[in-house]
Amino acid sequence: MARITFAQAFADAVYLSFSNDPNVLLIWGSFFGLSQYRSLSDRFRKEFPDRVAFTPTSELGNCGIAIGAAIAGARPIVPVGAASFIFRAWDQIQHEAAVARYMSNGMIKAPVVFHMLHGIRGGGGPQHSQSPQAMLWNCPGLELVMPSTPYDVKGLFRAAIQSDNPTAFLVHPKLLDVEGEVPDEDYAIPLGKADIKRDGKDVSLVATSLQVHTAMAAAADLQAMGVSAEVLDLRTLRPLDRDALAATARKTGRVVAIDDCPPHCSTASEIAAIVSEECFRELKAPVERVTRMDAPIPFSPLLEDYVSPTVDKVVAAAQRALAYPKSAGD
Amino acid sequence: MDKGISRPYALEALEGLLLIRRFEEALFQLWKDGKFLGHYHLYIGQEATGVGAIQALKPADMIFTTHRNHGHLLARGTDPEPMMAEILGRETGLLGGRGGTFHLADPAHNIPHTSGLVGGCIPLAAGAAHRFKSCGEDRVSVVFFGDGAMEEGVTFEAFNIASLWRLPIIFVCENNDPTAQGRPANDRIPGAIAATHLDQIPKSLSMTTQVVDGADLAAMRAAVMAARKACIAGEGPVFIEAVTKGWPGSATQWPDLSKTGRTDLGMAWGAKPIPDSYRTWFEDEDPVLRFCREQVAAGQLDGETISAHDARITQRIAAAVERALAAALPSGARALDHVLAEVR
């Protein structure tokens, strides 16, 4: 067990995947963007030169190449860089990868890991800040993994690369610096197992990826106000741990869903719908959503902060839920 | 007249050509009788392209194809019955009724996945070639696509990567209708592609290219054989443009067999007169009649042999249709099978 960064834990997981399985291929791209961690990828290139291919700037072509290689027996990883670029590859992911197994009646598989750096990153502006998880959640046949901690990124990546399904693996660039305890040995965290990151009884904050940290900070603020908040990290959206979601909703009766997608059909919207369908009688307040506002992401910091999900917005949403029904119909 | 096809290959080719022609004719009838939903595409007029190309491949080579895929599977040896059942949406279909005519695929014959989206399989085939090359396997990947795929962006990306990485892949562009929509024969294609010739595009990416008469089976076979050899030698990729005349019954929306009718092979050796309507098609363009005519003229096959093969194949297709029609539709709940693989 060592205390390492999220970026290091992620690089270790990729390295382990190369070492353990000769079928792992890298369709070259940027795991760590332009961050200080980008040199962590050098090791794959040096030690597995035959399995690392350098690509042109061709998101659609690169993803298609990875899917075809997977159909022919490989387990490719294709880092597309900023998740904003995944839209350029959408056709191959939605129409080929996500349906390949289904359409073949289970005879073939396309186990690609599509890695991308999603979310509001600070200065990314309208074209480098996208969070496509809600749209990816709308692709049946595609697994969707959104780790929040160094421990989770290692174990979830190891599960994703071994899965026979295509997987979208979304990492928030602001998580790369986060430190945590990570076992030295190999381990996989089963996909579809949510994790309670903080135990509480008054209100449940449900999130993935970076927003788990927003939720944790909000929970600390709420604690100071005498409110006990539970933080549920869903970890993966497909498969979804519906049992864990329903359990926390039933336990506290109040749910705040946090997401950095825009509000309409966001992941927060789907979480709200599921909780309402499954736990309506146990709820003490309507499910609150904290999402990015319905606007493109602006460049300048105050503008960016204004439209982002923030700790203060989560605290306010939790307080609204706690005040219900007192505030209703005033 | 022998273009390097020996009698065993000629008989094998005849089998493929007739299987495709009789399959597609039967399919038209099924559609006319309202036996299946959706629009569909027939391979009539292009049989020699697929049969010639696929004869040049090894069983381990991987094939990717398009919405116009029936001919490629039949040429590869796929049983027509589960193909027909798939098009009819039956439980016994190749894909359990999940794909239909657009997506016929046969992993057992190394045709793993068929995209119905224009150009959709081109990068996939390049990916398979990348896999073969990275494993050091002597296998090639072959992708068939129509001239319309040359208008798609994904095609450029895949061509560029395949050429940069020298992948063992053969791009077979089936230019199946150069005269349609006001396009002068393989010259300029107004409104679709600014290039004057389709092969300018791969040439600009340093790819080896060859333009072949797609109705000439032996020429197709020879071109793909040479391309395969180049790919295995690390000199890939190769782009082959197979030019065929459009079958008069071909249409953007619905194929129409009534124009040329069920093919009477006797026209190939003078046993049946050639009608005045669509005379050019019957005399020069129909690749099945052309192959039979050439084989008879060369003294390699005779009308009797061809007719005997035709009778057997016609019977085989009729039986396939009968069994496919008798098969059950999959029950609704089966729709949720295979969305995701089980956790290992």
List pLDDT tens digits, range A91-142. Answer: 999 999 999 999 999 999 999 999 999 999 999 999 999 999 999 999 999 9
Which residue from B105, B124, B132 is facing A64, i.e. has the nearest CB? B124
Which pLDDT belongs to residue B180?
44
Cα–Cα distance measured from residue A217 to residue A19, given in angstroms and rounded to the nearest whole number: 37
Chain-centre distance for alpha carbon B115: 14
Q: What is the pLDDT of residues B198-221, one digit of tens each?
A: 999 999 999 999 999 999 999 999
Q: How far is B41 from chain A (nearest CA, A)?
A: 19
Active site residues of A: 128
3-state secondary structure of B143: strand
CB contact under 8 Å between B123 and A92, yes or no, is yes
Which residue from B96, B123, B341 is facing A68, i.e. has the nearest CB? B123
CA distance to A266, B120, B318, B334, per residue, from A98 (Å):
20, 13, 36, 18
CB contact under 8 Å between B337 and A64, yes or no, is no
Residue B252 clears pLDDT 80, i.e. is over it: no
pTM of the full predicted structure?
Answer: 0.95
Which pLDDT belongs to residue B183?
46
Which pLDDT belongs to residue B2?
43
Q: What is the mean pLDDT of chain B?
A: 92
A41-50, B246-255, B335-344: range with lowest mean pLDDT: B246-255
Which pLDDT belongs to residue B37?
83
3-state secondary structure of B209: strand
Q: What is the pLDDT of residues B271-288, one digit of tens each?
A: 999 999 999 999 999 999
CA distance to A152, A213, B20, B99, per residue, from A197 (Å):
11, 10, 61, 43
Chain B residues in contact with A96 (beta carbon < 8 A): 113, 115, 120-121, 124
Q: What is the pLDDT of residues B148-192, one digit of tens each?
A: 999 999 999 999 999 999 999 999 999 976 554 434 444 444 567
DSSP run (H or E) holding A303 = helix A301-307
CB contact under 8 Å between A108 and B164, yes or no, is no
CB contact under 8 Å between A65 and B120, yes or no, is no
CB contact under 8 Å between A65 and B130, yes or no, is yes
Chain A residues in contact with B121 (beta carbon < 8 A): 96
% of chain A residues with pLDDT over 70: 98
DSSP run (H or E) holding A3 = strand A2-5
Q: How far is B55 from chain A (nearest CA, A)?
A: 21
- B-chain residue closest to A106, CA distance: B338
CB contact under 8 Å between A103 and B125, yes or no, is no
Q: How far is A309 from chain B (nearest CA, A)?
A: 32
- B-chain residue closest to A238, CA distance: B340
- A-chain residue closest to B91, CA distance: A105
Q: What is the pLDDT of residues A50-101, one digit of tens each?
A: 999 999 999 999 999 999 999 999 999 999 999 999 999 999 999 999 999 9
Which residue from B103, B160, B337 is facing A58, i.e. has the nearest CB? B160
Which residue from A73, A74, A104 is facing B113, i.e. has the nearest CB? A104
Q: How far is A198 from chain B (nearest CA, A)?
A: 28
DSSP run (H or E) holding A289 = strand A288-290
Cα–Cα distance measured from residue A96 to residue A63, given in angstroms and rounded to the nearest whole number: 10
Higher pLDDT, B231 or B255: B231
Which pLDDT belongs to residue A189?
98
DSSP run (H or E) holding B162 = helix B153-164
3-state secondary structure of A274: helix
